[in-house]
A = this chain, B = another copy of it.
Protein backbone atom coordinates (compact mmCIF):
# COMPACT_ATOMS: atom_id res chain seq x y z
CA UNK A 1 0.00 0.00 0.00
CA UNK A 2 1.43 3.36 -0.95
CA UNK A 3 2.13 5.88 1.79
CA UNK A 4 1.27 9.51 2.30
CA UNK A 5 3.91 12.19 2.67
CA UNK A 6 2.62 15.24 4.52
CA UNK A 7 4.40 18.46 3.59
CA UNK A 8 4.08 21.44 5.96
CA UNK A 9 5.24 24.67 4.38
CA UNK A 10 5.04 28.45 4.18
CA UNK A 11 5.53 30.23 0.84
CA UNK A 12 7.78 32.78 2.56
CA UNK A 13 10.41 30.15 3.31
CA UNK A 14 13.02 29.61 0.59
CA UNK A 15 13.69 26.11 1.92
CA UNK A 16 9.97 25.36 1.52
CA UNK A 17 10.19 26.54 -2.08
CA UNK A 18 13.22 24.32 -2.77
CA UNK A 19 11.50 21.28 -1.28
CA UNK A 20 8.29 22.07 -3.15
CA UNK A 21 10.18 21.92 -6.47
CA UNK A 22 11.17 18.35 -5.58
CA UNK A 23 7.74 17.00 -4.63
CA UNK A 24 6.74 15.72 -8.08
CA UNK A 25 9.94 13.71 -8.34
CA UNK A 26 9.57 12.47 -4.79
CA UNK A 27 6.02 11.27 -5.48
CA UNK A 28 7.12 9.52 -8.68
CA UNK A 29 10.08 7.77 -7.05
CA UNK A 30 8.13 6.58 -4.01
CA UNK A 31 4.62 6.09 -5.34
CA UNK A 32 3.48 8.04 -2.29
CA UNK A 33 0.77 10.64 -2.38
CA UNK A 34 1.77 14.09 -1.20
CA UNK A 35 -0.49 16.04 1.11
CA UNK A 36 0.30 19.75 0.98
CA UNK A 37 -0.23 21.32 4.41
CA UNK A 38 -0.09 25.13 4.53
CA UNK A 39 0.85 26.69 7.87
CA UNK A 40 1.95 30.11 9.06
CA UNK A 41 5.66 29.89 9.81
CA UNK A 42 5.56 33.11 11.82
CA UNK A 43 3.00 31.47 14.11
CA UNK A 44 5.17 28.38 14.44
CA UNK A 45 8.18 30.52 15.34
CA UNK A 46 6.20 32.47 17.92
CA UNK A 47 4.79 29.35 19.58
CA UNK A 48 8.03 27.36 19.66
CA UNK A 49 10.56 30.13 20.34
CA UNK A 50 12.33 29.30 17.10
CA UNK A 51 13.44 31.91 14.56
CA UNK A 52 14.69 32.18 10.99
CA UNK A 53 18.37 31.34 10.37
CA UNK A 54 18.53 34.86 8.88
CA UNK A 55 18.23 36.35 12.38
CA UNK A 56 21.84 35.22 12.95
CA UNK A 57 23.79 37.08 10.24
CA UNK A 58 26.58 34.48 9.83
CA UNK A 59 23.97 31.71 9.65
CA UNK A 60 21.87 33.67 7.17
CA UNK A 61 24.90 34.21 4.91
CA UNK A 62 25.77 30.53 4.96
CA UNK A 63 22.17 29.47 4.54
CA UNK A 64 21.92 31.40 1.29
CA UNK A 65 25.04 29.65 -0.06
CA UNK A 66 23.79 26.27 1.14
CA UNK A 67 20.42 26.72 -0.55
CA UNK A 68 22.08 27.80 -3.80
CA UNK A 69 24.13 24.60 -3.70
CA UNK A 70 20.92 22.58 -3.42
CA UNK A 71 19.19 24.67 -6.12
CA UNK A 72 22.07 23.82 -8.44
CA UNK A 73 21.91 20.13 -7.50
CA UNK A 74 18.14 20.13 -8.13
CA UNK A 75 18.51 22.14 -11.36
CA UNK A 76 16.06 24.83 -10.26
CA UNK A 77 16.20 28.60 -9.96
CA UNK A 78 16.19 30.14 -6.48
CA UNK A 79 16.60 33.90 -6.36
CA UNK A 80 17.12 35.54 -3.00
CA UNK A 81 14.08 37.78 -2.58
CA UNK A 82 15.41 41.22 -1.57
CA UNK A 83 12.21 41.87 0.41
CA UNK A 84 12.77 38.80 2.63
CA UNK A 85 11.39 38.24 5.24
CA UNK A 86 7.90 38.86 3.89
CA UNK A 87 4.78 38.66 6.05
CA UNK A 88 2.90 35.76 4.48
CA UNK A 89 -0.30 35.90 6.52
CA UNK A 90 -2.52 36.86 3.57
CA UNK A 91 -0.73 34.52 1.18
CA UNK A 92 -1.07 31.56 3.51
CA UNK A 93 -4.71 32.35 4.18
CA UNK A 94 -5.06 32.20 0.39
CA UNK A 95 -3.34 28.81 0.43
CA UNK A 96 -5.76 27.29 2.92
CA UNK A 97 -8.65 28.89 1.03
CA UNK A 98 -7.65 26.99 -2.13
CA UNK A 99 -6.58 23.81 -0.31
CA UNK A 100 -8.61 20.87 -1.57
CA UNK A 101 -9.72 22.71 -4.72
CA UNK A 102 -8.60 22.25 -8.32
CA UNK A 103 -6.86 25.66 -8.15
CA UNK A 104 -4.62 24.83 -5.17
CA UNK A 105 -1.53 23.77 -7.10
CA UNK A 106 -1.80 26.69 -9.53
CA UNK A 107 -2.12 29.08 -6.57
CA UNK A 108 1.05 27.69 -4.99
CA UNK A 109 2.97 27.70 -8.26
CA UNK A 110 1.95 31.31 -8.86
CA UNK A 111 2.92 32.49 -5.39
CA UNK A 112 6.09 30.41 -4.93
CA UNK A 113 7.46 31.54 -8.30
CA UNK A 114 6.61 35.19 -7.68
CA UNK A 115 8.47 34.96 -4.40
CA UNK A 116 11.53 32.86 -5.22
CA UNK A 117 12.03 33.20 -8.98
CA UNK A 118 10.68 36.67 -9.79
CA UNK A 119 11.77 38.18 -6.43
CA UNK A 120 8.63 40.27 -6.05
CA UNK A 121 7.55 42.12 -2.92
CA UNK A 122 4.72 39.76 -2.07
CA UNK A 123 3.95 41.61 1.14
CA UNK A 124 2.42 44.42 -0.97
CA UNK A 125 -1.27 43.91 -1.84
CA UNK A 126 -0.94 45.64 -5.24
CA UNK A 127 1.99 43.39 -6.20
CA UNK A 128 0.09 40.30 -5.03
CA UNK A 129 -2.96 41.43 -7.03
CA UNK A 130 -0.94 41.68 -10.25
CA UNK A 131 0.74 38.32 -9.65
CA UNK A 132 -2.58 36.58 -9.00
CA UNK A 133 -4.19 38.15 -12.08
CA UNK A 134 -1.26 36.96 -14.20
CA UNK A 135 -1.70 33.49 -12.67
CA UNK A 136 -5.32 33.40 -13.83
CA UNK A 137 -6.98 34.37 -10.55
CA UNK A 138 -9.46 37.15 -9.88
CA UNK A 139 -7.59 39.20 -7.24
CA UNK A 140 -10.85 40.53 -5.76
CA UNK A 141 -12.15 36.98 -5.33
CA UNK A 142 -8.92 35.92 -3.62
CA UNK A 143 -9.07 38.96 -1.33
CA UNK A 144 -12.64 38.09 -0.40
CA UNK A 145 -11.53 34.56 0.49
CA UNK A 146 -8.61 35.66 2.68
CA UNK A 147 -10.91 38.03 4.59
CA UNK A 148 -13.34 35.22 5.39
CA UNK A 149 -13.26 34.47 9.15
CA UNK A 150 -13.58 30.74 8.41
CA UNK A 151 -10.41 30.88 6.29
CA UNK A 152 -8.56 32.82 8.98
CA UNK A 153 -9.61 30.19 11.51
CA UNK A 154 -8.57 27.39 9.16
CA UNK A 155 -5.01 28.71 8.88
CA UNK A 156 -4.83 29.19 12.63
CA UNK A 157 -6.02 25.62 13.22
CA UNK A 158 -3.59 24.23 10.60
CA UNK A 159 -0.70 26.05 12.25
CA UNK A 160 -1.70 24.84 15.70
CA UNK A 161 -2.00 21.29 14.40
CA UNK A 162 1.56 21.52 13.05
CA UNK A 163 2.89 22.89 16.33
CA UNK A 164 1.09 20.12 18.20
CA UNK A 165 2.90 17.54 16.09
CA UNK A 166 6.30 19.00 16.97
CA UNK A 167 6.84 21.24 13.94
CA UNK A 168 9.24 24.13 14.65
CA UNK A 169 10.23 25.24 11.12
CA UNK A 170 9.59 24.85 7.41
CA UNK A 171 9.48 22.72 5.46
CA UNK A 172 8.59 19.74 7.62
CA UNK A 173 7.63 16.33 6.29
CA UNK A 174 5.77 13.53 7.98
CA UNK A 175 5.64 9.91 6.86
CA UNK A 176 3.23 8.45 9.38
CA UNK A 177 4.57 9.60 12.74
CA UNK A 178 8.10 10.09 11.51
CA UNK A 179 9.00 13.76 11.21
CA UNK A 180 11.73 15.14 8.97
CA UNK A 181 12.71 18.80 9.07
CA UNK A 182 14.31 20.62 6.16
CA UNK A 183 14.55 20.50 2.40
CA UNK A 184 17.84 18.66 2.94
CA UNK A 185 16.07 15.63 4.40
CA UNK A 186 14.32 14.60 1.18
CA UNK A 187 16.46 11.46 0.91
CA UNK A 188 15.29 10.40 4.38
CA UNK A 189 11.66 11.14 3.47
CA UNK A 190 12.10 9.09 0.32
CA UNK A 191 13.51 6.14 2.26
CA UNK A 192 10.71 6.33 4.84
CA UNK A 193 8.04 6.49 2.14
CA UNK A 194 9.55 3.45 0.40
CA UNK A 195 9.93 1.36 3.56
Contact = CB atoms under 8 A, between A and B. Distances in A.
Interface residues of A, number: 23
State the majority secondary structure of interface residues on A.
helix
A166 interface: yes
Contacts of A49: 55-57
Given A49-B56, A50-B56, A61 B166 contact: yes
A32 interface: no
A98 to B, nearest CB: 28
Interface in A53-107: 55-59, 61-62, 65-66, 69
A58 B69 contact: no
Interface of A: 48-50, 55-59, 61-62, 65-66, 69, 163, 166-169, 179, 181, 184-185, 188
